[in-house]
Amino acid sequence: MKGTIRKCFFLIISALLFISDVYSQNEEKTAVDTISNLVEQQLNTVSITAKKPLIQRKGNKVILNVANSILAAGNSAFDILSKAPGVTVDNEGNISLKGRRGVSILLNGKLTYLSTEQLTALLRSTPGNSIESIEMMSNPSAKYDASGSAGVINIKLKKNQSDGTNGTITAGSGYGKYYKYNGGLMLNHSVNKVKLFGDYNYSENKDFQDLNVNRSNTSGGEQTYFNQKGREVYLHKDNSYRVGIDYYLDDKSVLGFSMNGSFKNVNVNSENRTLMGNKPLAYDSSVVAINPGSSKYTDQTYNLNYKITIDTLGQEFNADVDYAHFYSNNKTVYNNYFYNAFENPLRAPLIYRNATPSNVNILVGKVDYTLPLASKMKLEAGAKNSYVRTDNDFKFENLQNNTWNNDTLRSNRFIYKEKVSAAYVNLHKEYKSTTIQVGLRAEFTHSEGNSLTEKLMVKRNYLDLFSSVFINHTITPNHEIGVSYSRRIDRPDYQSLNPFLFFSDLYTYNQGNPFLNPQYTNAFEFSYGYKKILNATLGYSRTRDVITTTLLTDSVKKTLLIKDQNMANEETVNLNVSVPLAISKWWSTNNEITLYHTNYTTPELMGAPFKSNKLTWLVNTTQTFQLNQTLSAELTASYQSAQIYGTYKVKPIYGIDMGLSKSFFDNKMNLKLAATDVFNQRKANISSAIKQQDYKLYQKPETRVFRLTFTYSFGSKLIKAVRERANGSSVEQNRVKSN
């Protein structure tokens, strides 16, 4: 079966090389604008069939219209995000935008407040078919939370605006090394003043990851070489749901309630062998580790929203109250067996286990107010209070005489509390050919990190001001320039503040740092646009006390320690150029290149000053082919050159994705066939940027996957007439304006 599928995709590649047409972005925009103008003149309902381009640029936003992408079918939000323009995701799940780390991830405009591990689990359990678009902002305004030194990525979920009852059924299957399955149902019902919506999605995904580590350790003149090879096989079972109701009190105000959540179970079978010796390739002993594990993640989020449009000039008031609860628990048993060079047992096995239950509670309240002051001038203001409490209870047990005994020296309970009170003001003014926006945001932070086991508490109180400036100027109808500045913050992840050790295996572990400070970034950006077919940005940012993940060798214990530390400074210069081209009527392409130079410095690391820098470039090209009215194809290729992340270096990463989409029965039914990483090339090769260290890490997850996804839409497809679009494209304003 695998051979047949591969041959089919190689035939598709050959065919795509001879195709040479699709509508240009300008033609698509013209079509959409024309239809929108016609709709606004109609009293009756109409059916809209024009679709948005895959990638759009609006002001300081780059928008990836996921709902139109073939390659999104069957994938999770995490998979899609890793392929977004200018976005890179490393092996630990850390997200970078235009070469800069510290990105805030928002879901429907709301901050997630999660650790990297919990955020990765949430994104992996969010199905791609529930996403409308992904917005990327490298310099967001003061209206957004100041967290996220590299900018903000907002994942907008679908919400149907049709009248009547409708829905969509999704089912899919995939194959890489193992089979994958997914299915879902989305329903909407709208009548008079009430709108109900909900969806449920399930996926079962089995995959694997290979991890090889070669390193050497020098202690007291003695050198030891380690060669570790292992594979982890995962079985993910993900469930996610969302329900909500909007009640229109009158023509100007709406009250809404929504609830969404997910529950995810992961079973892991991990096996690796570590060979050791005092010479390369001459090993005198080994450790075989068989580490079965399981993880459980659940989350529930509740939102109560009230919005009123006070007058026809655009005066609005919006209020939100959110409560969220997240629970996770990772359980792993570590079975370590020791052998000599002749594969005979060297000593008794070492068996231990750990559990890491974590509870996160989040309560947020915020209000936003918009006041038009004069012609093409408006004032935005708002306030927000958030409270986050996390409880991490790390349990470590040793197996002794067939009995599990708690290891008090390695167990730990850590509670973290954080309160942030914020207020902002934005002033927006449009002139004949110039738009100016200035903003100021104030945030007061109180945090407490309490290690109950060590009786160690770290408290912090700090007030910060964050300013932002945006100026856009249209020189001629074909030339547009802009300049922006923003100051932002990244607070330490509460998991990284926990001072205790988290074992990955016998020779690799993580340790938190309770004395981490927040990092602050000043970012500047200059942009230029030509005929909306060429967009370029030149940016510079400087971050002090940059939080960096370091891989450090303990020469005495002969272990590898992963720990977050504050380095002195990070400076990044980046250039991004995007060129959408219309090769012919039915072949369009979007091409993007990003170059960035990053420089890390710190006065002391492992007993010596440290400095690392590198010029890196990212290339991404997306080809879209409209073969006929019901058949389309996509091909995406990406290349990331060698780069540096703080204390480690990463070799180039590249791959090709492709897919076909066929619609039936007046676009009510759709089949999508997609292949990610067709040539199975995406892998991570990592080495140390610290001269005193010697390690090489190879990481290869299952990236080549073939997927077939079926969707069927049923029910009403009629769009409400003029008044629903009276305030533009904003989903929230559309709701207020309807009955």
CA trace torsion 82, 663, 238, 706 (10° rounding): -60
C-alpha 581: how far from chain center: 28
In this predicted structure, what is the pLDDT of residue 21? 34
Rounded-to-integer distance, Cα 339 and Cα 346, Å: 5
- Check: CB of residue 270 under 8 Å from CB of residue 232: yes
Tokens describing residue 685 = 């090769």
Chain-wide mean pLDDT for the chain?
Answer: 83
Rounded-to-integer distance, Cα 329 and Cα 164, Å: 42
User: Could you tell me which of 70, 62, 90 has the C-alpha nearest to residue 78?
Assistant: 90
In this predicted structure, what is the pLDDT of residue 68? 66
Lowest mean pLDDT among 208-217, 444-453, 512-521, 528-537: 528-537
Instruction: Tell me the pLDDT band of 303, cut-offs 50, 70 and 90.
Output: very high
Q: Do you know the residue count of the chain?
A: 739
Q: Which amino acid is at 643?
A: Q
Instruction: Tell me the pLDDT band of 20, cut-offs 50, 70 and 90.
Output: very low
User: Counting Cβ atoms within 10 Å, is residue 419 exposed (0-12), middle (13-18) or buried (19+)?
Assistant: middle
Tokens describing residue 450 = 């309490």
Instruction: Tell me the pLDDT band of 338, cut-offs 50, 70 and 90.
Output: very high
Instruction: Tell me the pLDDT band of 518, cut-offs 50, 70 and 90.
Output: very high
The terminus-to-terminus CA distance of the chain in angstroms comes to 53
C-alpha 722: how far from chain center: 36
Q: What confidence tens digit (pLDDT) does each residue in 497-508 have?
A: 888 888 777 888
Number of domains in the chain: 1
Those residues whose C-beta lies under 8 Å from the C-beta of residue 702, and which sit 6 or more positions away, are 176, 177, 178, 207, 208, 209
Higher-pLDDT residue of 552 and 415 is 415
Rounded-to-integer distance, Cα 220 and Cα 72, Å: 54
Cα–Cα distances (Å) from 173 to 178, 198, 630, 675, 709, in that order, read: 11, 23, 22, 12, 7
- Check: CB of residue 509 under 8 Å from CB of residue 503: yes
Q: What confidence tens digit (pLDDT) does each residue in 235-277 have?
A: 999 999 999 999 999 989 999 999 989 999 999 999 999 999 9
Instruction: Tell me the pLDDT band of 112, cut-offs 50, 70 and 90.
Output: low
Rounded-to-integer distance, Cα 519 and Cα 102, Å: 9
List, as one string, the DSSP characters of 256-293: EEEEEEEEEEEEEEEEEEEEEESBTTB-SEEEEEEEEE
User: Counting Cβ atoms within 10 Å, is residue 729 exposed (0-12), middle (13-18) or buried (19+)?
Assistant: exposed
List, as one string, the DSSP characters of 165-184: EEEEEEEEEEESSSEEEEEE
The DSSP 8-state label assigned to residue 250 in this structure reads S
In this predicted structure, what is the pLDDT of residue 719? 35
Is residue 431 within a helix (H) or strand (E), and if so which, with residue range? none
What is the pLDDT averaged over residues 52-67?
Answer: 74
In this predicted structure, what is the pLDDT of residue 225? 93
Instruction: Tell me the pLDDT band of 91, cut-offs 50, 70 and 90.
Output: low
User: Counting Cβ atoms within 10 Å, is residue 533 exposed (0-12), middle (13-18) or buried (19+)?
Assistant: middle
Lowest mean pLDDT among 150-154, 156-160, 193-197: 156-160
Long-range contacts for 277-286 (Cβ within 8 Å, ≥24 apart)? 277/224, 277/225, 278/222, 278/223, 278/224, 278/225, 279/225, 280/216, 280/225, 281/227, 283/225, 283/227, 283/341, 284/340, 284/341, 285/338, 285/339, 285/340, 285/341, 285/346, 286/338, 286/339, 286/343
Rounded-to-integer distance, Cα 733 and Cα 726, Å: 8
Tokens describing residue 354 = 């750990």
Rounded-to-integer distance, Cα 293 and Cα 291, Å: 6
Say how many C-beta atoms besides its own lie within 10 A of residue 291's C-beta: 21
Question: Which range among 250-254, 334-338, 513-517, 720-724 has the greatest average pLDDT?
Answer: 334-338
What is the pLDDT averaged over residues 175-182?
Answer: 94
- Check: CB of residue 648 under 8 Å from CB of residue 688: yes
The DSSP bridge pattern shows strands 103-107 and 151-157 to be parallel
C-alpha 142: how far from chain center: 21
- Check: CB of residue 468 under 8 Å from CB of residue 488: no
Q: What confidence tens digit (pLDDT) does each residue in 664-683 have?
A: 988 889 899 999 999 999 99
For residue 17, give its domain range: 2-737
Whether pLDDT at 14 is above 60:
no
Lowest mean pLDDT among 129-133, 152-156, 423-427: 129-133
Rounded-to-integer distance, Cα 605 and Cα 647, Å: 10
What are the beta bridge partners of residue 458?
A: 449
Lowest mean pLDDT among 57-71, 187-201, 237-251, 311-325: 57-71
User: Could you tell me which of 480, 490, 450, 486 has the C-alpha nearest to residue 468?
Assistant: 486
Rounded-to-integer distance, Cα 126 and Cα 190, Å: 25
Whether pLDDT at 156 is above 50:
yes
Instruction: Tell me the pLDDT band of 686, cut-offs 50, 70 and 90.
Output: very high
Instruction: Tell me the pLDDT band of 26, cut-offs 50, 70 and 90.
Output: very low
Q: What confidence tens digit (pLDDT) does each residue in 341-366 have?
A: 999 999 999 999 999 999 999 999 99
What is the pLDDT averaged over residues 309-328?
Answer: 92
Q: What confidence tens digit (pLDDT) does each residue in 602-634 have?
A: 998 888 899 999 999 999 998 989 899 899 999
| Residue indicated by tokens 């999704």 | 170
431: domain CATH number is 2.40.170.20
Rounded-to-integer distance, Cα 216 and Cα 230, Å: 18
Rounded-to-integer distance, Cα 60 and Cα 695, Å: 41
Which 3 state secondary structure label does DSSP give 236?
A: strand
Whether pLDDT at 447 is above 90:
yes
Instruction: Tell me the pLDDT band of 44, cut-offs 50, 70 and 90.
Output: very low
User: CA-based angle 409:412:417, to the nearest 5?
Assistant: 150
What is the pLDDT averaged over residues 513-532?
Answer: 91
Cα–Cα distances (Å) from 398 to 333, 350, 402, 451, 498, in that order, read: 10, 8, 10, 22, 21
In this predicted structure, what is the pLDDT of residue 24? 33
User: Could you tell me which of 488, 589, 445 has the C-alpha nearest to residue 138?
Assistant: 488
In this predicted structure, what is the pLDDT of residue 114? 64
Which 3 state secondary structure label does DSSP give 521?
A: strand
Q: What confidence tens digit (pLDDT) does each residue in 647-662 have?
A: 889 999 999 999 999 9
Q: Which amino acid is at 567?
A: M
Rounded-to-integer distance, Cα 501 and Cα 554, Å: 14
In this predicted structure, what is the pLDDT of residue 11? 36
Whether pLDDT at 721 is above 60:
no
Tokens describing residue 386 = 């958030």
Rounded-to-integer distance, Cα 27 and Cα 586, Å: 11
User: Counting Cβ atoms within 10 Å, is residue 659 exposed (0-12), middle (13-18) or buried (19+)?
Assistant: buried
Whether pLDDT at 574 is above 80:
yes
Rounded-to-integer distance, Cα 527 and Cα 137, Å: 13
